């Protein structure tokens, strides 16, 4: 089974190019003002213009309004929308209808119940992205370098596609893939030198590790 990789929170041409060159299936742009990885629609459009059509361009939003998601998706030539807030299944379905794009729903995980509850998004989202649940009161819903117990996904069978995020890096991603048998891994802080500053070397190492899993 091939495991695809997404490098998220890209904001500079050099690291974007490194992700594409290294074989990332998806690149991610964050549109959330509180994030150190936040980019404008104009910045994302410039970056997206460097990406070959076979690489997916995913926009990450947190409880966006219709105008933000529609205008940004068009400007940045997005191929998928990732929702990382408190969006309900109905809201996810509405954004899919609005944009006509695949919609990924991030699911914060601490216990098996969190994974079971995610089935409510079947028929609304196209993909579930299981991420570590942030601490109470955290300013960011993701990109914190936290991981959850991957064994919760061992043998998991979902009604839709799914992936794993949260605390991944080159040193542990092969273990994560081995435990969960996921078809998608998503990394942000695990390929950074500091929050918001991606490392070309860490991106390369991560993608090499995924290819060998």
* pLDDT tens by residue, 83-125: 999 999 999 999 999 999 999 999 999 999 999 999 999 999 9
Count of domains for the chain: 1
Q: Which residues contact 67 (CB under 8 A, 6 or more apart)?
A: none
What CATH number did the domain enclosing 51 receive? 3.20.20.70
Residue 169: domain span: 4-211
Quick one: 155 exposed, middle or buried, by C-beta within 10 A (0-12, 13-18, 19+)? exposed
CA 148 – CA 179 distance, rounded (Å) = 12
pLDDT above 90 covers a percentage of the chain that reads: 89
Q: Give the CA distances from residue 62 to residues 56, 81, 110, in Å, rounded to whole numbers and listed in that order.
A: 19, 10, 20
pLDDT higher than threshold 60 for residue 138: no
Helix (H) or strand (E) holding 187: strand 184-187
What's the pLDDT tens digit per position in 7-45? 999 999 999 999 999 999 999 999 999 999 999 999 999
Name the residue among 140, 135, 109 with its Cα closest to residue 9: 140
DSSP single-letter state for residue 175: H
Identify the residue whose tokens are 């059509």.
Answer: 53
């Amino acid at each position: 089974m091939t495991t695809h990789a997404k490098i998220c929170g890209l904001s500079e041409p050099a690291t974007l190019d490194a992700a594409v060159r290294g074989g990332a299936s998806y690149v991610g742009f964050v549109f959330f003002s509180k994030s150190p990885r936040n980019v404008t629609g104009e910045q994302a459009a410039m970056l997206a213009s460097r990406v070959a059509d076979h690489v997916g361009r995913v926009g990450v939003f947190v409880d966006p309004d219709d105008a933000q998601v529609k205008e940004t998706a068009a400007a940045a030539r997005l191929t998928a929308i990732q929702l990382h807030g408190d969006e309900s299944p109905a809201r996810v379905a509405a954004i899919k209808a609005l944009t006509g794009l695949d919609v990924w729903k991030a699911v914060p995980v601490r216990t098996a119940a969190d994974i079971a509850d995610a089935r409510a998004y079947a028929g609304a989202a196209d993909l579930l992205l299981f991420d570590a649940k942030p601490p109470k009161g955290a300013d960011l819903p993701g990109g914190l370098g936290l991981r959850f117990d991957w064994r919760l996904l061992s043998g998991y069978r979902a009604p839709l596609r799914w992936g794993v995020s949260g605390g991944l890096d080159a040193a542990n991603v092969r273990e994560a893939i081995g435990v969960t048998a996921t078809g998608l891994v998503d990394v942000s802080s695990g390929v950074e030198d500091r929050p918001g500053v991606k490392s070309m070397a860490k991106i390369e190492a991560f993608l090499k590790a995924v290819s060998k899993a």
